[in-house]
């Protein structure tokens, strides 16, 4: 039984290590993007900052265009209206937050 577990462990470690070498990492993709961008834009400070913005892997949050308050602000306002020891009120606020869209 222990030989089977050892074999499965070695096989899974080998599979994970091979799969990591097959796909490029995010850092490698960013560095390749930076190299290409600097070749295209030039090797100046402003070009480098432009390339950083262009190659960054940062998600931009969506703006609240409907002018309605965010779910978290409603939750915080609800929590402030509850007494400190009123667990039912706080639970209701939490449930409302979980249902908020």
Give the pLDDT of residue 81.
Answer: 92
Q: Which residue has better confidence, 3 or 35?
A: 35
Residue 1 in any domain: the answer is no
95 and 68 housed in the same domain? yes
Q: Which runs of E-coded beta strand occur in the chain?
A: none
What residues contact 26, with CB distance under 8 A and at least 6 apart? 57
Rounded distance, CA 28 to CA 49, Å?
Answer: 18
Tens digit of pLDDT for each residue in 29-55?
888 888 898 888 888 888 888 888 888
Residue 70 in any domain: the answer is yes
Residue 15 in any domain: the answer is no
How large is the greatest C-alpha to C-alpha distance in the chain, in angstroms? 62
- Decide if pLDDT at 88 tops 90: yes
Burial degree of 51 (CB within 10 A; 0-12, 13-18, 19+): buried
48 and 68 housed in the same domain? no
Over pLDDT 70: what percentage of the chain? Answer: 68
Give the pLDDT of residue 89.
Answer: 94
Rounded distance, CA 11 to CA 18, Å?
Answer: 11
pLDDT-derived band of residue 24, with 50, 70 and 90 as boundaries?
low
Give the range of the structural domain holding residue 55, as residue numbers without chain letter.
22-60
35 and 52 housed in the same domain? yes
Give the pLDDT of residue 22.
Answer: 47
């Amino acid at each position: 039984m222990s030989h089977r577990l050892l074999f499965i462990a070695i096989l899974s470690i080998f599979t994970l290590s091979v799969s990591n070498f097959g796909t490029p990492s995010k850092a490698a993709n960013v560095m390749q993007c930076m190299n290409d961008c600097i070749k295209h834009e030039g090797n100046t400070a402003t070009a480098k900052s432009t390339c950083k913005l262009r190659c960054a892997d940062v998600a931009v949050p969506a703006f609240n265009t409907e002018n309605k308050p965010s779910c978290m602000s409603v939750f915080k306002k609800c929590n402030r209206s509850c007494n400190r020891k009123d667990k039912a009120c706080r639970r209701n606020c939490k449930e409302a937050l979980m249902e908020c869209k």
